[in-house]
Structure formats: C-alpha cells, structure tokens
Amino acid sequence: MIGKMSLFGNLIAAPSIELAAPVDGEAVPLKEVQDPTFGEEILGKGMAVRPEQGSVYAPCDATVELAFETGHAVSLKADSGAEILIHIGIDTVRLNGKYFRVHVSNGDHVSKGQLLIEFDREAIAAEGYDTITPMVICNSDDYRKIEAITGNRVHAGDKVLRLFR
C-alpha cells in the first residue's frame, strides 16, 4: 500500500500489510523450524504452521512467481509488494512431487484464500518428513518491522503476519 498525502502535504504512513495463514494448524515462530535456512531466518522473517490438514491457500492477493514442479513450495509476489515463500515440510523436495498436487501455474494471479497446493500430510510424515510449513517474507529488509502472530491454532485465512513499511 502507498501512503496518502494529508491536507498539509505530509506523507501519512500506509497501514500495515496483513497476511493470512496458508494452512490450518498450530502457528509457531520460525525458530521452531528444524532447518537453519528457515529457523535462522536466512531467507527472511516470517512464521510457520504445523499443519493439521493438507491444503495450502493464498495468504493474500498475489501473482505466482514460481510454482515448484515438485509441489513442495510456491513463491508469490503479493499485490502489496511482499515476496512470499510458502514451503511445505523440511527436505520434502526429495519426494519429487510424490504426495503433492499443484493447482496454480507460474504467472497466475491468485486471490486470498485460493487453493494453491494439496498434499498428503499423513503419507509425507509416514515417510519420515516433518510437515511444518514456513511462510517467509523473502524481501524482509523492505519492511521496518514484521510481526508474527503465533502460539495458537489458526485456520487458513486467519491473520498471522503484519508487515510495516
């Protein structure tokens, strides 16, 4: 969002950008993800969900930058400018698409709440993979503050991240 000019010509700060949970489950801080790329915020700040089901939804209106062929992740460019990576599980790229079904293609414009990916959570876990699902803001440096709302059960569509310019 872009700030507005007041009657006196001063720039009024734009409200925060809110992103929704991509999946139902327990919202947790990124530090709980047992992969340093996420847990140490190497790719950016965000949060994660321990999923209770196997459907991933768009956290906001966005364009699909990259729908990974393996189905384990999707990269979005939010209409607000946020660069979002949703990654299903840890090391699940090794499954080569097994247990994943992608419902979007590169370049698609998606609306908040639109189904992006389905996955078989139980089958993935049975193969020994952690299904925790990080949602990371890859351009975190563009924001002065990123606030994660964690520590509770969430439904896809519930607010879990606020980004402040």
Query: What residues act catalytically?
Result: 87
β-partners of residue 115 are 57
Residue 44 C-alpha from the chain's centroid = 11
Q: What angle do CA 59, 62, 64 make, to 5 degrees?
A: 105
Identify the H or E element spanning 154: strand 153-154
Q: Which two tokens stand for residue 103?
A: 């419902």
Dump the DSSP string for 7-45. Answer: TTSPEEPPPPEEEE-SSSEEEEEGGGSSSHHHHTTSS-E
Give dist(CA 15, CA 34) in Å, integer. Answer: 33
